[in-house]
Amino acid sequence: MRRIKLRIGDVFTIPGDDRSVALGQVINMRKHNFLVVIYDARLDVTEATSDLVDRAIEYPLLLMGNTMDAAFNAGEWHVLGCVSENLRRTVELPLYRVTGGGETLCLVDHNNEIIRHCTQEEWDLLSPFEILTPWVLQGAVQSHFGTGPTYPSYRKLKVDEFLKGTRIVRSKIP
């Protein structure tokens, strides 16, 4: 298996079915995992060329999640190219909750840097950092396109749901 080296801004395809793909983009990286967004675009597999890279970012955001590179390395997800000028202005990065040792509740950013202690209310609003297999995200894409089964857990991957707690907490940060 060939190891793919991903970069922030990489635009890639995710199979929707035998004839269609969705487009995703790497928006943040940690050592062994990546935060990705998936755009609400169902394209014919023959359209999935490097010409789409600049157009990809024009589609609305659909899904967001932390994942790993297994589907890239297995040859199932394909990088088309890289574009990053959209990331700062169109993609909001999430906050997460973690315990800071013992019973200390902490608020961390997308890079796992502790921002500060958090209140119980903030703790209840935020999600823990979670890494999904790429096939969970692919399943959510297929569910959205009507080409795969639907599971209630896919709802939390929709961008607005994924960032719901982050937006509430940020609105209260002075």
Residue 1: its pLDDT value, please? 58
Rounded CA-CA distance 12/134 in Å is 12
Across the chain, mean pLDDT equals: 89
Measure Cα distances from 164 to 46, 127, 160, 173 in Å: 35, 10, 6, 15
**pLDDT on residue 163:** 94
pLDDT at 158 over 80: yes
- Using one digit for the tens of pLDDT, what is the confidence trace for 73-98? 998 999 999 998 777 777 889 999 98
Q: What is the mean pLDDT of residues 11-23?
A: 93
Query: What mean pLDDT do residues 141-147 have?
Result: 95
Taking alpha carbons only, the member of 152, 23, 148, 132 closest to residue 80 is: 23
pLDDT in tens, 93-138: 999 998 877 778 899 988 888 888 889 999 999 999 899 999 999 9
pLDDT of residue 174: 64
Q: Say if strands 10-15 and 20-29 run parallel, antiparallel, or are unpaired.
A: antiparallel
pLDDT of residue 112: 85
What is the predicted pLDDT for the residue at 84?
A: 84
Q: Where are the domains of the chain?
A: 10-172
